[in-house]
Amino acid sequence: MTCFRSRWALLLLLLPTAIHAQEAKIQCPGDNTVEMRYCAALSWEQSTDQLKRKLPKRRFEQWQEATREVCPHAYAPYKDGTIYLQLVVGCEDRLNRALLKAFQPLNDLP
C-alpha cells in the first residue's frame, strides 16, 4: 500500500509540471536546441508525407535510402555535437523539398 501511495504522491507532484509543459506551444523555428530539433523533425515529417503521395513506393524507399546516406555524410564533422541530428534532419527535409519543387509545373515556380 505504501508503494501505491508513493506513486500517487509522485504523480501529484509531477502533474502540475506536465500540465504547464503542455500549455507552452513551441513557436518554430524554436528558441533552443530541443525546440529547433522538434521544428526540424516536424518540417521533415511534412515533406516526407508529401513525397510519399508523389512517388511510387519503391522510388520513395530509394529516395529515403539515398538521403539517409548522404546527409549524415555531409555533416559527419558535427557527429559529436548537440546539433548533429538537427542538421541531418534539416538536410533530409531540404532535399525532400527540392524534389517536391521539381514536381511543380514550371509556371508555379517562384
**Cell (9 digits) for 44:** 521533415
Determine the pLDDT at residue 65.
Answer: 97
**Cell (9 digits) for 11:** 504523480
pTM: 0.72
pLDDT at 22 over 90: no
> Which helix (H) or strand (E) element contains residue 23?
helix 2-23
CB 38, CB 31: distance < 8 Å: no
Question: Which residues, including other chains, have CB under 8 Å from residue 86's CB and lie 6 or more apart?
Answer: 33, 36, 37, 40
pLDDT at 56 over 60: yes
pLDDT confidence band for 25 (50 / 70 / 90): confident
**How many residues appear in the chain?**
110
- Residue 25 gets the label, from left (phi > 0), alpha (psi -120 to 50) or beta, of beta
Determine the pLDDT at residue 11.
Answer: 42
What is the share, in percent, of the chain residues with pLDDT greater than 70?
74
Cα 42 to Cα 28: distance, rounded to the nearest angstrom: 9
